[in-house]
Chain A
Amino acid sequence: MNRAMIRQYLVNWLGPRSGRPALSADNLNPLEHGRYSPYLVAALLGITLLAGCATTDHSQATGDLGVIVERADGAVQIVERSRHRSLATISGLGDLSHASVVFSHDARFAYVFGRDGGLTKLDLLERRIAKRVIQAGNSIGGAISQDGRLVVAQNYEPGGIRVFDADSLETLATIPAVTATGQPSKVVGLADLPGNRFAYALFEGGEIWVADLSQPRAPRITKFPAGLQPYDGLVSSEGRHYIAGLFGEDGLALLDTWYPERGTQRILPDYGKGTAKLPVYKMPHLRGWALTSSRAFLPAIGRHQVLVANRQDWREIGRIPVLGQPVFAMVEPSQRRVWVNFAFPDNDKVQVIDTDTLQPIATLLPGKAILHMEFSARGDEAWLSARDSNEVVVFDTNTLQTIARLPARSPSGIFFTWRAHRIGM
Chain B
Amino acid sequence: MLLLSLALVSPSPGAPLSSQRQSQLLHLLKQDCGACHGMTRKGGLGPPLTAHALNDKPTDSLVATILYGRPGTAMPPWQAFVTEAEALWLIQWISNESGNDPPVSR
Contact = CB atoms under 8 A, between A and B. Distances in A.
Interface in A265-279: 279
A15 interface: no
B105 A94 contact: yes
B106 A283 contact: no
Contacts of B40: 95, 97, 115-116
Contacts of A388: 27, 31
Nearest to B28: A344
A229 interface: yes
A279 B44 CA distance: 18
A98 B31 contact: no
Interface stretch (B4-12, B74-82, B90-98): B74-82
Contacts of B105: 74, 92, 94-95
Given A118-B106, A280-B74, A344 B32 contact: yes
A97 B74 contact: no
Contact of B38 (A74, A97, A345, A369): A97
A231 B44 CA distance: 12
Contacts of A115: 38-40, 42, 44
Contacts of B39: 71-72, 95-97, 115
Interface string A250-289: 0000000000000000000000000000011111000000
A115 B105 CA distance: 12
Nearest to B30: A72
B35 interface: yes
Contacts of A410: 31
Interface in B29-71: 30-32, 34-36, 38-40, 42-45, 69
Given A186-B45, A203-B45, A344-B32, A279 B106 contact: no
A72 B34 CA distance: 11
Given A116-B104, A156-B44, A156-B45, A283 B38 contact: no
Main SS class of interface, B? loop
Nearest to A116: B104
A201 to B, nearest CB: 13
A98 B44 contact: yes
Main SS class of interface, A? loop
A226 to B, nearest CB: 16
Given A94-B105, A97-B34, A387-B31, A281 B76 contact: yes
Contacts of A236: none
Contacts of B27: 388
A388 B27 CA distance: 10
B31 A280 contact: no
Contact of B106 (A134, A140, A229): A134
B10 to A, nearest CB: 25
Nearest to A156: B44
Given A116-B106, A134-B106, A140-B44, A283 B36 contact: yes
A140 B45 CA distance: 9
Contact of B74 (A95, A116, A156, A283): A283
A297 to B, nearest CB: 22
Contacts of A157: 43
Contact of A247 (B34, B74, B106): B74
B37 to A, nearest CB: 9
Nearest to A99: B39
A387 B32 CA distance: 11
Contacts of A345: 81
A229 B46 CA distance: 13
Contact of A369 (B31, B36, B45, B77): B31
27 contacts: A94-B104, A94-B105, A94-B106, A95-B38, A95-B105, A96-B39, A97-B35, A98-B38, A115-B39, A115-B44, A116-B104, A134-B106, A140-B44, A156-B44, A248-B72, A279-B77, A280-B74, A281-B32, A281-B35, A281-B76, A282-B32, A283-B35, A283-B36, A283-B74, A387-B31, A388-B31, A410-B31
Q: Which 5 A-B pairs have the closest CB atoms?
A: A97-B39, A279-B76, A344-B32, A282-B35, A74-B105
Given A95-B105, A388-B31, 17 more contacts: A71-B39, A95-B42, A97-B40, A97-B44, A98-B35, A98-B38, A115-B39, A115-B44, A116-B104, A138-B42, A140-B44, A203-B45, A248-B72, A279-B77, A280-B76, A283-B36, A283-B74
